Amino acid sequence: IATAEYWGTGIIDVGGEPCQLTDYRASINYQTPGMRVNFTCTLPDGESHHEIQAVSGTYAWNEIGEPGAGLVPGQGTAVPAMETANERLARLWSGPQAWVKAARMGGDDTQMAREGGRLVLSYPIPLVPGATARATLSETFQAERVEARVGDVVTEWTYSDYGDYNEEGNRLDAFFAGRIVERRGGRTRLDLTLVNTDISNIYVVVPVPESVRQAAAR
């Protein structure tokens, strides 16, 4: 599996407030690597909020307008967000299918142990110096919990309800977590229930806009 997309409903944290998702789509390329999260939600005061968060390699930015904004003049704007790159890479490499890829990439730096009857893999997070993650696996070797440490910041993801959420007729028996919960510092940042996935190696690219490259080089 080289790429993945998934759609879901639930609640996401926006500025410390719970925002009810009306649309959520995550697109991932594990080989580049890159990830784009495009969501719209409704804040408690009824205001609609829309964000497109992107990371590719060590570059991070937000897209204003449509996905791919900033690549073609006049079609949206790319706003550099380099301070979020490590956080977004940690999210990518802690995903339900990403952790095993990152653990394999870790080579001799990936460690395996048993804790409380569960198999635990500790691995370095690719492209984030000094950052590590720990994946606690179920008896069927699916991640139940992944904890990522980037500097002093610890983020935890819990995964459950694994199944094949691809559309009927395109199912691959490649299971994905049906519920994803992200927490940090005792606060829930995302509680997502999947609607469907597409993990049939669809075309997903997250090219870095030139304006973002230039801003990072300053």
Tell me: the pLDDT tens digits for 60-82? 999 999 999 999 888 899 999 99
Tell me: the pLDDT tens digits for 84-126? 999 999 999 999 999 999 999 999 999 999 999 999 999 999 9
Of 9, 11, 53, the closest CA to residue 28 belongs to 53
- pTM of the predicted structure, to 2 decimals: 0.95
Contacts of 5 (CB under 8 A, 6+ apart): 25, 26, 27, 28, 197, 198, 199, 202, 204
Rounded Cα gap, residues 88 and 164, in angstroms: 25
The Cα-based distances of 87 to 22, 152, 188 in angstroms read 24, 12, 15
Rounded Cα gap, residues 106 and 91, in angstroms: 17
Contacts of 214 (CB under 8 A, 6+ apart): none
